[in-house]
Chain A
C-alpha cells in the first residue's frame, strides 16, 4: 500500500508543477475564424445512439446515481431490468447478477472501468470488487449492455457488460468533500481535488465507505479507496491518460459455530495502474492503445478451533497485465469499423487454494472486429466477431449479428443472434484445496480434476426501442432466449486419501438449460423537473436447483425523481423480486421488496456550494439478503456535501 501511495504523491507533485505556466492572451482576429483546430469529437468519441446499438443498453446517469441515495455501484444495478443485487460482503463484495440468478461470484458479466477490465482474477472472475473500484461520486455513468456482448469484449461478457465511465477531470475541478453518517454505523467520506489547465488535468479522490454490514453477518464492512487520474494532451492529436489507484475492502465474514468458516475479517486489496494513449488520425479514424497492470492480494485466515495449531487460509495473490490496441474507422459514410487486438496474462499464486506455491498463468489473445453498416437510411447492421485463444479454454470465436430497423421516427426494432463462450476460471480448472494438520492431510474440499471446458451461450433476441420527441419518454423492450450449454457445476466425487470423508468437489460441464423471458424499461418525464423510470423483467429458467428448476420469476424496479422549488430534490426508489434461488449456493432466495427515499436540499455554506441530504433505505420490514440469516434492516443516513 505504501508503495502505491508514494507513486500517487509523486504524480500529484508533478501535476502541480506542470500547471504553473502562464499563457499570453492574444486579441481576436480573422485567424480565429480561418485557422484549423484539432478534431475533438472523432469517430471513436461519438458513441452509438441507443437505437443503433447491437443490443439493449440501460444507462444509469449522474442524476440517477446522485438521487438514488445508493452507497455503491452494486446498489444501482437494481435499476437495471433483469438484475438481482445482494449487499452482502460474505462471498466477496456486494454484487449484481443478470439472469443466472446469483452464484457466489456473479462471473458471467464483464465489468469495465474506463475500458479496463476489472473482474477479479482471484475470485473466479467475480464482478463484486470491480463495482467497488471507484468512488460513486467519480462516476459519470454506468452503461449496462443486457445480453451477451462477447463479440466486443471477450469471454467475460457472456451475459452482458457493466461499463463504468468515470467523470472527465474537466468536470471535477476544484475541491469537493462529503461525509455521511447514519444508522448501522454508516460512515462514508470523500475528499476530492481537481486541478490543471487545458494541457494537463488531474483528479485525486480518496474515499471510504463503512457500515456494520447486514444484520446477522459477522461484522462490519469497510472500503477505502484512493484514485488518481491525469489527462495529458501531448499534442493536438495525442492524448495520454494515466490512472492509478488502490482499493482495500475489509469485511467481517464467516459464522459462529462453523469451525471451517469461523467469523473473521477478510481483506481484498486491489491496486492498479492504467495508461491510455489516444491518437486522432483525423475526423474519420483514430487509434487507442491501453496498457494496464492490476494486482490483487487477499488476506483471509483464521485458526481452526478444534486444533488451534492449524490455520485455515483462503488467501493469495493474483495479477493481470493487459495490452490492447484498437483502430476505429469510418470507412465510408455508411460503414464504421472497429478492430483490434488484445493480449492479457492472468497469474494466480495461492498455496491454500492450489496446494502449491507455483503460479498459474493464463494467457489470452483476442482479435476483434465489429462493423456498423448502414444498409439503408432506416436499416443498420451491426456485425462482429471476437476470436479468443486462451491457454485454459482453447480457441473460440464469438460472433454477433444484429439488425436495427427504424420503422418510423422514434421507433426501432432490433433482432439479433449471438454466441459466446466463457472458459473455466483458474480455480475451476486447477483448484486443490487441502487442509493439513501437523503435516498430515486432514481434509480436502475442492480438488478439480481439470476435465472442464468452456461454457457456451447462444442468444436470440428481439428488441423494440421507442423514443418520443424532446426526450419526454422512451421505452426499451428486450425479448430473449439464452441457451446455455456446458454450464459448469460442482459435483462431489469420491477421492480416497483426501482426508475426512474421502470426498472432494470437482468442476465439470454438467448442465444445459434455457433462460427466456422479456424485460423492459420505461423512462418518462411527465412534467417539469420530474422523471420516472420503471423496469420489469420476467425470466423463466430451466436451470436445475436442488431437485427442481429455477422456473419463472419476476422483478421490477421503480425510480421517481423530482426537483422541487428552493433547491429541494425528492426521489423514491422501489425494488421487488419474486422468490427464486441462488443457484451457486443452492439457497432459496425469498421474495422481497425494498423502498428507499431521499430528500436533499442544495444551499450555500460559507460561499461554497453545498447539499444536505437524508436517505432512508428499506422503509418497512427487513428482508433476507444472500444467506438465510442475513437481513437488511431499515437504515437512514444524512450526508453533507461541499464543493467549490
Chain B
C-alpha cells in the first residue's frame, strides 16, 4: 500500500508538505513518528517533533515521517533509527515486540507506559523508553502550595491500580508538610461515598486521571459536589478547568512534541535512549470565575512562572 494513501484532503498544508517529503524520501526516514490516531493533538505533537529535529539540520526535518498506528503494518520503507510512538495505542503496538530501532513513547501517561511494559514483559531502557504526559506529583503539590498557601490536606480518589502512585504521593506530600486524605474507589463502585469523605476532610481535591473515576459523566457530580463543599479541584487538563476545576498544571502536545524531538535529536547524534522522563515544560490554567466565586485571586501566568523558577532552582 503506497504511503500516498495517507494523503487525505483537509490536512493542513504544512503537514501535507511533511507527508509529501516522507513519500519522496521514505527510504531515508531517520525518525518514524507513529501516532495512535490522526487528530489535532497528535498532529500538533508530531509537528513539534519534526520542527525540533529540523533544528539539527534541514535534512533531518525531511527525514521525519509521520504515520498512524493503523497504517504502520503497511509501511514498507526501511527501518528508521528511532520510532517515536505518540499515544498509548502506538506505544503498545511498537513496544509489544522489540522493534528494529529504539522506541520512544510519548504523549501518554505513565500508567499507560507501565501497562505496556507489564504486558510485553519488557523493561524501560535504551530500546524502549518514554516521555510521560502526566505531571510529576511534586509539581502538582507545589502548585497547590503556591495557589492555596493555607491548604494542608490533599484529597485523592484512588483507582484500582494506583498503589505505586499512592506511595509516591505520600512521599511527595510529606516532603512538603502536606497530608494526604486518600480514599480507594473500587471498580464499578460509585465515587459518591469516597468523595464525601474527601470533601469533608480535605482542603483540595487532587484529581489524577483515571477514566473509572473521572469521565465526562462522573465529572458533573464531582465538580458540583466539590464546589458546594468549597473544596476546589486541582485537575490534570485544561478541559477540566473549563468544566469547573479551579486549576490544572499540564503539558501541551506541542510541548511534549518538542521535548520528544529533543530526545530524538540526542539519539540521532548517537546518545542512547535514557530512562523515562516527565515533561519539563508545562502550563498552568486557572478558571477565573471559579476562583472568584471561591474568593481567590489567582493568576495562571504568574503561577506557572513561579513554578518554573522554583524548578530551575536558585
Interface residues of A (CB under 8 A from B): 22-23, 25-43, 45-47, 49, 140, 168, 170-171, 173-174, 197-199, 201, 233, 236, 239, 283, 330, 467, 470-471
CB within 8 A of A32: which of B36, B209, B223?
B209
Q: Contact check, B293 vs A39: say whether CB atoms are below 8 A apart.
A: no
State the Cβ distance, B114 to closest chain A Cβ, in Å: 10
For B188, what are the chain A residues with a Cβ–Cβ distance below 8 Å?
22-23, 25
Whole-angstrom CA separation of A37 from B242 in the bound complex: 8
Interface residue? B309 (CB, 8 A) = no
9 of the cross-chain contacts (CB-CB < 8 Å) are A29-B108, A29-B112, A30-B36, A33-B133, A34-B41, A37-B215, A37-B243, A41-B244, A46-B290
Stretch of B12-20, B75-83, B190-198, B263-271 contacting A (4+ beta carbons < 8 Å): B190-198
Q: How many angstroms from the CA of A43 to the CA of B217 in the assembled complex?
A: 19
Assess the A40–B224 pair: CB atoms within 8 A.
yes
Given the interface pairs A32-B211, A34-B253, A36-B239, the reply to whether A27 lies near B217 with Cβ below 8 Å is no
Residues of A within 8 A of B112 (CB): 27-30
Say yes or no for B177: interface residue by CB 8 A criterion: no
Most buried by B among A34, A35, A43, A201: A34
Interface residue B158 (Cβ < 8 Å from any Cβ of A): no
Pairwise interchain contact B211-A27, C-beta atoms closer than 8 A: yes
Given A25-B188, A25-B211, A36-B239, A46–B111 Cβ distance below 8 Å? no
Given the interface pairs A27-B115, A38-B220, the reply to whether A46 lies near B225 with Cβ below 8 Å is no
| B94 CB to nearest chain A CB (Å) | 15
**Sample of 7 further A-B pairs with CB below 8 A, known A22-B188, A170-B192:** A27-B111, A27-B115, A30-B36, A30-B112, A39-B242, A45-B227, A471-B295
By beta carbon, the residue of chain B nearest A410 is B295
Complex: how many Å from CA A46 to CA B224?
10
Partner of B107, one of A28, A30, A140, A330: A30
Shortest B263–chain A CB gap in Å is 17
B214 contacts the other chain (Cβ, under 8 Å)? Answer: yes
Contacts of A198 in B (CB 8 A): 190, 217-218, 220-221
How far, in angstroms, from A40 to B133 measured CA to CA in the complex? 25
Encoded as 1 (CB less than 8 Å from any A CB) or 0, chain B from 187 to 208 comes to 1101011011000000000000
CA of A168 to CA of B218, assembled, Å: 14
What mask results when residues 103 to 147 of chain B are scored 1 for a CB within 8 Å of chain A, else 0?
A: 000011101100100000000000000000110000000000000
Closest to A471 in B: B295
Q: Which of A23, A40, A239 contacts B244, CB < 8 Å? A: A40
1/0 per residue, CB under 8 A from A, across B282-293: the answer is: 000001011011
A170 contacts which of B224, B236, B244 (Cβ < 8 Å)? B224
**B88 with A171: CB separation less than 8 A:** no
Contacts of A34 in B (CB 8 A): 41, 237, 239, 253
Contact of A45 among B193, B224, B250 (CB under 8 A): B224
Residue of B nearest to A34 (CB): B41
Q: Which residues of A contact B215 (CB under 8 A)?
A: 37
B219 at the interface (CB under 8 A from A): yes
Task: Say how far A114's CB is from chain B's closest CB, in angstroms.
Answer: 14
Residues of B in contact with A, size category: 35 or more
From residue A644, how far is it (CB to closest CB) to chain B in Å?
9
Residues of B within 8 A of A25 (CB): 160, 187-188, 211-212
**What are the 6 tightest A-B residue pairs by CB atom distance, in nearest-first order?**
A41-B244, A32-B209, A29-B88, A40-B223, A198-B217, A40-B244
Option from A49, A171, A173, A233 in Cβ contact (under 8 Å) with B217: A233
A174 CB contacts on chain B under 8 angstroms: 193
Q: Do A30 and B212 contact each other (CB < 8 Å), given the known contacts A23-B188, A140-B228, A198-B221?
A: no
Complex alpha-carbon distance, A294 and B152, angstroms: 48
Q: Given contacts A32-B210, A33-B236, A38-B216, is CB(A197)–CB(B190) below 8 Å?
A: yes
- Bound-state CA distance A239–B220 (Å) is 10
Residue of A nearest to B214 (CB): A32
Provide the residues of chain A in CB contact with B290, threshold 8 Å. Answer: 41, 46
Q: Which residues of B have CB within 8 Å of A27?
A: 88, 111-112, 115, 211
Cβ–Cβ contact A32 & B224, under 8 A: no
- Which chain A residue lies CB-closest to B187? A25
Residue B257 CB within 8 A of the other chain? no
A37 touches B109 (CB 8 A): no
Residue of B nearest to A19 (CB): B190
Considering the complex, give the chain A residue whose CB is closest to the CB of B295: A49
A550, chain B: closest CB distance, angstroms: 39
Min distance, Cβ A286 to any Cβ of chain B, angstroms: 13
**CB atoms of A171 and B237 under 8 A apart:** no
Give Cα A40–Cα B240 distance, bound, in whole angstroms.
9
**Which chain A residues border B214 with CB–CB below 8 Å?**
32
Q: What residues on B are CB-neighbors of A330 within 8 Å?
A: 289
Is B87's beta carbon under 8 Å from chain A?
Answer: yes
**Cross-interface CB contact of A47 among B115, B150, B293, cutoff 8 Å:** B293
A233 to B220, CA, bound (A): 9
Q: A168 and B219: CB pair below 8 A?
A: no
When distances are taken between beta carbons in the complex, the residues of chain B under 8 Å from A233 are 217, 220
Per the bound structure, the CA–CA distance linking A27 and B243 in Å amounts to 22
CB distance from A59 to the nearest CB of B (A): 12
Complex: A198 Cα to B244 Cα, angstroms:
17
Decide: B108 and A30 in contact? CB cutoff 8 A: yes
Q: Within the assembled complex, what's the spacing in Å between the Cα atoms of A573 and B133?
A: 54
**A171 with B228, Cβ < 8 A, contacts A32-B109, A33-B236, A38-B219 known:** yes
B residues less than 8 Å from A32 (CB atoms) = 109, 209-211, 214, 236-237
A49 to B292: give the CA distance in the assembly, Å: 8
Residues of B near A199 (CB, < 8 A) are 217
Closest B residue to A330 by CB, please name it.
B289
Bound Cα distance A170, B236 (Å):
23
Interface positions, chain B 165-205, Cβ under 8 Å from A, are 187-188, 190, 192-193, 195-196
Minimal beta-carbon separation of A137 from chain B (angstroms): 16
- A28-B209, A30-B109, A33-B209 known; A170 vs B221 contact (CB < 8 Å): yes
Give Cα A471 to B151, complex, Å: 13
Least CB separation from B87: chain A residue: A30
Chain B residues, Cβ within 8 Å of A30? 36, 41, 87-88, 107-109, 112, 133
* Cα A37 to Cα B219 with chains together (Å): 8
Q: Select B193's contact among A39, A41, A173, A471, beta carbons within 8 Å.
A: A173
Q: Which residue of A lies closest to B225 (CB)?
A: A170
Q: How far is the CA of A31 from the CA of B188 in the complex (A)?
A: 20
Structural contact, B220 and A43, CB atoms closer than 8 A: no
Report the minimal beta-carbon distance from A35 to chain B, rounded to whole angstroms.
7
Contacting pair A168 B211 (CB below 8 A): no
Q: Which residue of A lies closest to B288 (CB)?
A: A333
Closest residue of A by beta carbon distance from B109 = A28
Residue of B212, B236, B287 touching A41 (CB-CB under 8 A): B287
Q: Which of the listed residues B112, B187, B192, B209 has the most CB atoms from chain A within 10 Å of its own CB?
A: B192
> Cβ of B108 and Cβ of A38 under 8 Å apart?
no
In Å, the complex CA distance between A170 and B41 comes to 34
Mask: chain B, 247-260; 1 = CB below 8 Å from A; 0 = not: 00010010000000
* Cβ–Cβ contact A467 & B216, under 8 A: no
B217 closest partner in A (C-beta): A198
From the candidates A33, A36, A239, A467, name the one contacting B250 in the complex (CB within 8 A): A33
Asked whether, in the complex, the Cβ of A39 is within 8 Å of the Cβ of B244, the reply is yes
Q: Give Cα distance in the complex from A38 to B41, angstroms.
A: 19
Q: Are A33 and B243 in contact (CB under 8 A)?
A: no
Q: Contacts A29-B88, A29-B112, A30-B107 known; A173 to B192 CB distance under 8 Å? A: yes
Residue of A30, A236, A467 with highest tally of chain B CB at under 10 A: A30
With the chains together, A45 CA to B289 CA distance in Å? Answer: 11
